[in-house]
Amino acid sequence: MNELFGIPLDTLLVVLAIGLGVAFGILALLAIRDPVLFRLGVRNFGRRRARTGLIVLGLMLGTTIVAAVFFANRVSIGHIGDSRCYRLRGEKFEQLTHDHSLLQEQIDSGQITAEQAKYSLNKNLVTRALGIEAIVPADIAEYRLEPNDIYLLCSDGLTDMVDPDVVQGVVDDKRTELAQAAAELVDLANQNGGRDNVSVILVRVPPEFLPTSGWAQRFLARKKGT
């Protein structure tokens, strides 16, 4: 057996869902990897078009979700709401998702600055969540994996309480001890007030996870044989 529910066993699915309807959210985001999975309640535009949108039927109430599917040398990341995904690659710490929130819309339109947003009272007002509308679009993007990339999936309970540079420092210091890094991030958020649910998932891409028979390797093999 090399598949589970139609997903190859060399594929890793990571889901962080906050709120009600969590189980449905997990099933819906599985469709990022395989459009055939869980057709009931899920409409998918196909694997190659997935980055332009995935439609899920919000049967439950108020769930924000961020999910990552690691397969071959790629990762597909989908999210609805203000839970986030970050990537630490080398010394670069980058936010890969864009919040679906009133606060983010105010920043994007220039009404307030990112610094002013830290003190806003509108932090928990999301503009997308499973259950808010009958049909909810998820933002989905695909990225190339590199060895030892670290991906952080987290709720706004972390990002509202801990600055990104502090988060980066904790993860960077504990690259090989991610369970400890996650626990430290939760503790920091709670020490700073812990006004909301604080959820953290950290994933490191080990070199052996990545395929060794890609086009570059095949090209070099052919060159050696000529």
Written as tens digits, the pLDDT of the chain (226 aa) is 344 334 444 677 788 887 755 545 555 555 444 443 333 223 332 333 333 333 444 344 578 889 998 988 999 999 999 999 999 999 999 999 999 988 888 888 888 888 888 777 777 788 888 777 778 888 999 999 999 999 999 999 999 999 999 999 999 999 999 999 999 999 999 999 887 789 999 999 999 888 875 555 544 455 455 4
DSSP state of 68: E
Please provide the distance, in angstroms rounded to a whole number, between the alpha carbons at the two ends of the chain.
Answer: 38
Can you read off the two tokens belonging to residue 8? Answer: 């190859």
What type of residue is 71? F
Helices marked H in the chain — which ranges?
A: 22-30, 102-108, 114-117, 156-159, 164-173, 178-191, 215-225
Looking up residue 208, the CATH number of its domain turns out to be 3.60.40.10
pTM of the model: 0.75
Number of independent structural domains in the chain? 1
CB proximity list for 42: less than 8 A, separation 6 or greater = 27, 28, 31, 54, 55, 56, 57
Domain around 75? 3-225
Can you read off the two tokens belonging to residue 116? Answer: 């002013």
Residue with tokens 């050696």: 224
